[in-house]
Amino acid sequence: MQNGTYLRNGPGLWNIGDYGFRHLFDGYAMLVGLHFKNGRLTAGHRQIESDAYKAARKNKKLCYREFSEVPKQDNFLSYVGDLAGLFSGASLTDNANTGVVKLGDGRVVCLTETQKGSIIVDPETLETVGKFEYTDMLGGLIHSAHPIVTDSEFLTLLPDLINPGYLVVRMEPGSNERKVIGRVECRGGPAPGWVHSFPVTEHYVVVPEMPLRYCAQNLLKAEPTPLYKFEWHPESKAFMHVMCKASGKIVASVEVPLFVTFHFINAYEEKDEEGRVKAIIADCCEHNADTTVLDKLRLQELRSAHGKDVLPDARIGRLTIPLDGSPKGTLEAAMDPNQHGRGLDMCSINPAYLGQEYRYAYACGANRPCNFPNTLTKLDLEDKSATTWYEEGTVPSEPFFVGRPGATEEDDGVVISIVSEKNGCGYAVVLDGCTFQEIARAKFPYGLPYGLHGCWVPKK
CB atoms within 10 A of CB 279: 22
Q: Which residues pair with 100 in a beta bridge?
A: 110
d(CA 283, CA 108): 27
Task: Report yes or no: 7 and 108 within 8 Å, Cβ to Cβ.
Answer: yes
Half-sphere exposure of 344 (CA within 13 A, CB side): 33
Q: Which residues pair with 395 in a beta bridge?
A: 420
> Is 263 labelled a binding residue?
yes
> Is 233 labelled a binding residue?
no
Quick check: bond before 208 cis, omega within 30? no
Task: Name residues whose C-beta falls within 8 Å of residue 266's C-beta, 6 or more positions apart in sequence.
Answer: 199, 282, 283, 349, 353, 354, 355, 356, 358, 361
Half-sphere exposure of 132 (CA within 13 A, CB side): 26
> Sign of torsion, CA 64 69 72 73?
positive
d(CA 355, CA 363): 18
Q: Which residues pair with 142 in a beta bridge?
A: 114
Q: What are phi and psi of 73, to 5 degrees?
A: -95, 140
Which CA distances in Å does 13 have to 47, 65, 181, 255?
A: 8, 16, 38, 41
Radius of gyration in angstroms for the set of CA atoms belonging to the chain, rounded to a whole number: 21
Alpha helices in 116-252 (DSSP H): 216-220
Pick left, alpha or beta for residue 106 (phi over 0 → left; psi -120 to 50 → alpha; otherwise beta). left
d(CA 456, CA 449): 20
> Is 35 labelled a binding residue?
no
Three-state secondary structure call for residue 134 = coil
Q: Which of 250, 259, 238, 260 is nearest to 280 (CA)?
A: 250
> Is 453 labelled a binding residue?
yes
* Strand ranges in 122-202 using DSSP code E only, listed in sequence order: 128-131, 148-149, 154-160, 165-171, 178-185
**Binding-site residue set:** 146, 196, 263, 453
**Binding-site residue set for Fe cation:** 146, 196, 263, 453
